[in-house]
Each structure stands twice: as structure tokens, then as C-alpha cells.
Amino acid sequence: MESISAFDIIKLGIGPSSSHTMGPWKAANQFLQLLKDQNQITELVEIYTYLFGSLAKTGKGHGSDIAIIMGLSNENFQIIDTDQIEDKINTIKTQAFIKINNQLSIPFIAEQHLIFEFTKSLDFHPNGIRFVAILQDGQRIEKEYFSIGGGFVVTQDQQLDSHLKITTQYPCHTAKEILENCNKLNLTISELVMLNEKAWRSEEDTKKHALYIWEEIKKCIFRGINKSGILPGGLQVRRRAFDINKRLLNGQKFNDVDQWIETIKSGPQDFSTVNKWVSVFALAVNEENASFGRIITAPTNGASGVIPAVLMYAYCFTPHFGEDEIIKFLITAGEIGTLYKKGATISAALGGCQAEIGLSSSMAAAGLTEALGGRKEQVLQAAEIAMEHHLGMTCDPVGGLVQIPCIERNSMGAIKAITASNIALESDASVAIIDLDDVIKTMWETALDMNHKYKETSEAGLAVIAVNVIEC
């Protein structure tokens, strides 16, 4: 089995969905690269895109159409100015063509060239995309891609991105293997992960990248607490992080994120206040995510607020939490995420919200426990506890938007992660009846048993009830 870097699970992304926005965007980029590699890009006349399954049913709400258009325009979601996306889309729709590269533009009318196949699915995965390129000689070039969660894109032969085809020195595909390697080498979990990350980058670069992720987390939260108003999409969901932050800090204003954090640290630290701050951190991230903002995908966009909220909680409210602890937190959390990707799924379209919020809570619980000095057995127990209490959670986004109940679920997932860590740190993990491998297996079996309506289709649950209420 191929190894996966912790930073393929925790990475820079763009909202509102890793599987429905980042994945289609990336797939469009890859299809253009395929045409370039085959020396066919200059012969291009038109491109048709077909979205299947969950991508069709909730694609509009998740911005899949926008992602496809941006991807076919050769934009990169990691560096694009997110404030310019709306203008770029409007220009393309008004001019009715897409600039494929600096030399070539082709006709593009969204209603004709971007087709939502609401009643069809591809067998391999619910998030299917088919691109059809028409060349000057009439030849058709077709390619299917599947967005399998967390921004990962594969073709049906499951050939993952080339940078993932790596086997680490001490492979850890299960929690049992993590424990065995830690015991054999007399290492903590974060030390083992750091050793294995050398398959991708040096130890120094791994530390730098973890701190870069932390800086992006801080920026994202700070952007979120400084924006008010209504989120896009038509549900009239109001941003709340701005107002709660304002009340907690009595309306104070700050020039930068570090000054804001220091003010939080020096303020009240009673249980109620800390609890509210955890919610502010999570809400801020996911309100940014819902607005096509730049966030940290961890492991998905719908769950992108959990790990930032728990990490910011630890930084603000636990003693002696500095750069070393931040690094331990992130690489441990990322490693736990790889176990779920290899043993179950990180896709809500396959596993429901247990595969997103449940997984991010499990990752955050493990990261926090490691950073706070927990033993390796306690780290894995914290991850197990957090997922155990998310099993069976459905994905039923109202209107296909990553807003209701997604934004609040991140706050709840963060609180559960902190609670799971606290329980594990005060427990003897050797007497635990259920271990992490057991809960990962159970999560996958639950995903297989779950009715497809509850897997990111907006055809059941809160999605249906809320629409009926809104219409009334």
C-alpha cells in the first residue's frame, strides 16, 4: 500500500468543498494537461463537462460549476485571488468563451458546455466527472475523473497523483502498525511521523511546512472574525463569528492576528468563555469556506474548521504551547487522517458526515493529545473516542450548500475533540475495549450500510425538512 504524507491530508485549499470544488477544479487542470501532453491543446474547438451523482445533485451549492470553469481557465486554486473569482466567472459568462491558454480561446456557454447529470451516476464513485474535448478534425477525446474526497482526484484505474506513489521507511497503514513501529524504535507518534515524512521532504522542511500551515490557519480565522453580513447561496445565513468575537472582546479592534491572539490570551479563561472562543474559531473558518475563501483542508473543506479551532484553543488556553507543540499537533493529526483514507474514506459522498466532521474531530483529538504530552496509546485512544461519537452522522446539506448544518457541526466537532483528548489523557488506554482500528473498520461498515440519500445528495434529512420550512 502506498504511503500518504500528513500534508496530503492537511493542506491549503479553497472553499466551499474539497470534493465538489477542489476536486473538479483539479480534474479540469489535469484534463488540460492531458491534452497538452498529447499535443492536442492547439487543436481544441470545444470542451464539454458532465457532472454525475453527488457532484450533480449538490454541485451548484458546492460551486462545482465555478470550479470547472476556473480549472478550464488554467487558474490555480492555491494562488488565485479569491476575491476575483466572481468577476472572472462573470466575464467568461458574458463573453461566452474561455481562455484555455495565452494563445487559445474556445466558446463556452455554461448551459451548453457544463451538464449536470442529475439522474445518472458512474459506477466507480459518486463524484464522477467526464470531460469531452472536440478537436478541429472532429475527433473526441474523453476522460473520466473521480473526486474521492479531500481534494484527491483519481481515474478509474486508481492511479493517484505521482507524488503520492511513495512508500515510507516505516509504513504505518493501521494504528497497530503505528504502535509497533513506535515501540520498536522507542519513538513518540510525532517522532515516527517526522521520520517517515523524510520520504517527501527533510525534517527542517517538514517543520517549516507545518508552521506555514499554522500561519495560514491564523490568517483564515482572522479574516473570518473580521467579516460580517450574509453568506452567499440564497439561504440568508448570517455570519456569526464577527459578532461573537466583538462581544467577547468588548468591541476592541486589532491591527493584526498576533495582537488579537495576545488579547484573547490575556482575557478571561473560565469554561464558558473558552467554550465560546472555540466556537468562534470554528465558525470563522467555515464562514470563510462557505464564501469561496482560502482555508486549510483538514481533511476536507466541510470539516476545515475543526483542526484550526482545536489548535487555536491549545495555543491560546493551554500553557507552554509553542512552535514545537504546533508541529507535533499537525503532523500527528495528519497521520491519523491517512489511516482513515486507507482504511475507510474521507468522502461524505461515500461515508456521510462521519467521514468529514467525525474524521477531523478524530484527527484533532489525536493531535492535541500528542502535543500535550500524552502517551502513544492515549493519542490513539483519543482519536478512537472522537470518532466513536460521530459514527452514523449523515451528510444532508441544505440547498447543497456547505452552511446548514455544516458550519455549526465544525464547532461541535472541535468540542468533541477536546473532550476526547481530556478523557484519553486521564485514562489507562491499555484497558480500552475498542481501539482505533476497530472504529475505522466500523466507520467504513457504517458508511456502506448508510442509505445513499444521506451521503451528500440533499435528498433527505435536514436538507428536505429545511427546504420545506423555507418554502412555507
324-356 pLDDT tens trace = 999 999 999 999 999 999 999 999 999 999 999
pLDDT the model gives residue 162: 45
Whether 101 shows a pLDDT value over 90: the answer reads no
* Residue at which a domain ends, from 142, 163, 184: 163
Whether 72 shows a pLDDT value over 50: the answer reads yes
Average pLDDT over residues 436-465: 95
Q: What is the CA radius of gyration of the chain?
A: 22
pLDDT the model gives residue 51: 97
CA torsion, ordered 457, 463, 467, 470, to nearest 10 deg? -140
* Residue at which a domain ends, from 163, 181, 196: 163
What is the three-class DSSP state of 165? coil
Task: Give strand ranges (E) for 25-118.
Answer: 44-53, 97-99, 105-107, 114-117
Written as nine digits, the cell of 64 is 462545482
In a domain, 38, yes or no: yes
What percent of the chain is modeled with pLDDT above 70? 97
* Residue at which a domain ends, from 110, 135, 163: 163
Q: How many CB atoms lie within 10 A of CB 471?
A: 6
Written as nine digits, the cell of 462 is 435536514
| Prediction pTM value | 0.92
Sorted by sequence, the CB contacts under 8 Å of residue 142 that are 6+ apart come out as: 130, 131, 132, 133
pLDDT the model gives residue 102: 72
pLDDT in tens, 104-162: 899 999 999 999 999 999 989 999 999 999 999 999 999 999 999 889 999 987 654 44
**Within this chain, do residues 282 and 402 fall inside the same structural domain, yes or no?**
yes
**Within this chain, do residues 156 and 245 fall inside the same structural domain, yes or no?**
no
pLDDT tier, 270 (very low <50, low <70, confident <90, very high otherwise): very high
User: What φ, ψ does residue 297 adopt, rounded to 5°?
Assistant: -75, 120
**Within this chain, do residues 154 and 187 fall inside the same structural domain, yes or no?**
no
Q: If you average pLDDT over every residue of the chain, what do you get?
A: 94
In a domain, 439, yes or no: yes
C-alpha count within 13 angstroms, C-beta hemisphere, residue 237: 24
Whether 103 shows a pLDDT value over 80: the answer reads no
**Within this chain, do residues 176 and 113 fall inside the same structural domain, yes or no?**
no
pLDDT in tens, 288-332: 999 999 999 999 999 999 999 999 999 999 999 999 999 999 999
In a domain, 5, yes or no: no
**Within this chain, do residues 154 and 191 fall inside the same structural domain, yes or no?**
no
**Within this chain, do residues 81 and 206 fall inside the same structural domain, yes or no?**
no
Whether 60 shows a pLDDT value over 50: the answer reads yes
Beta bridge partners of 44: 135
**Within this chain, do residues 356 and 370 fall inside the same structural domain, yes or no?**
yes
Sorted by sequence, the CB contacts under 8 Å of residue 264 that are 6+ apart come out as: 249, 277, 316
pLDDT in tens, 208-233: 999 999 999 999 999 999 999 999 99
In total, how many domains does the chain have?
2
**Within this chain, do residues 159 and 172 fall inside the same structural domain, yes or no?**
no
**Within this chain, do residues 93 and 171 fall inside the same structural domain, yes or no?**
no
**Residue 104 one-letter amino acid:** L
| H-type alpha helices, 249-356 | 257-265, 271-289, 306-317, 323-343, 348-351
From 301, 300, 340, select the one nearest 444 (Cα to Cα): 340
- How is residue 237 annotated by DSSP? P
Q: Return the CATH number at 149.
A: 3.30.1330.90
**Within this chain, do residues 137 and 173 fall inside the same structural domain, yes or no?**
no
Q: CA-to-CA distance for 372 and 148, rounded, in angstroms?
A: 33
pLDDT the model gives residue 467: 61
pLDDT the model gives residue 472: 42
Range of the domain at 38: 17-163
**Within this chain, do residues 131 and 202 fall inside the same structural domain, yes or no?**
no
Q: CA-to-CA distance for 252 and 246, rounded, in angstroms?
A: 7
**Within this chain, do residues 179 and 63 fall inside the same structural domain, yes or no?**
no
pLDDT the model gives residue 356: 97
Q: CA-to-CA distance for 73 and 15, rounded, in angstroms?
A: 18
In a domain, 12, yes or no: no
